[in-house]
């Protein structure tokens, strides 16, 4: 039987649970925000990466841009450049980054600009068959440097 004190404790715990859920809703990778993928109008591998992301539950809006270097300069990913740049709720994702690293970025919400898979590795999503453990996903720091490993996939 619940006493008045027990009811108050239960009510307080329920309120705290709702608040914690609201504060950490961003960590739910089932509710990732829409991404905007900037690409060269003639790049097929960018479209293949977008298709890969969509197949894995991401909402992707593709934007063709005639000078993709401008986008990389604008978002600070030039040091880790690949063929396309993705913007997702304040984070930048450069290149053919696998979904696990994107979900890790979203779940952890680190104080960085974003992540990058420099170049166009053949064994990355959208480029060819993935070879697990061979892709070094780099951290794009707030100063635009790309020197630390964020994840290995």
| Ordered per-residue pLDDT tens for the chain, 153 residues | 445 454 444 444 444 443 433 344 344 445 789 999 999 998 889 999 999 999 999 999 999 999 999 999 999 999 999 999 999 999 999 999 999 999 999 999 999 999 999 999 999 999 988 888 999 999 999 999 999 999 999
- SS3 at position 74: helix
Look up the domain containing 104 and give its range.
Answer: 32-152
Same domain, 16 and 43: no
Same domain, 118 and 68: yes
Of 83, 50, 89, 59, the C-alpha closest to 69 is: 83
Same domain, 64 and 132: yes
- Please count the structural domains in the chain: 2
Same domain, 105 and 69: yes
Dist CA 123 CA 72 (whole Å) = 23
pTM of the model: 0.79
Dist CA 116 CA 33 (whole Å) = 18
Same domain, 62 and 136: yes
Domain containing 112 — which CATH number?
A: 3.40.30.10
The residue to which tokens 């979904």 are assigned: 99
């Amino acid at each position: 039987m619940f006493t008045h004190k027990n009811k108050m404790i239960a009510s307080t715990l329920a309120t705290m649970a709702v608040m914690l859920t609201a504060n950490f809703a961003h960590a739910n990778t089932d509710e990732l925000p829409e991404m905007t993928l900037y690409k060269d109008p003639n790049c097929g591998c960018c479209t293949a990466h977008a298709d890969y992301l969509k197949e894995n539950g991401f909402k992707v809006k593709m934007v063709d841009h005639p000078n993709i270097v401008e986008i990389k300069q604008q978002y600070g990913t030039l040091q880790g450049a690949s063929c396309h740049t993705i913007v997702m709720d304040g984070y930048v994702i450069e290149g053919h980054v696998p979904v696990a690293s994107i979900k890790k970025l979203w779940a952890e919400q680190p104080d960085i600009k974003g992540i990058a898979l420099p170049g166009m590795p053949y064994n990355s999503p959208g480029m060819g068959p993935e070879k697990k453990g061979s892709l070094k996903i780099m951290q794009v720091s707030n100063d635009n440097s790309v020197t630390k490993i964020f994840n290995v996939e």
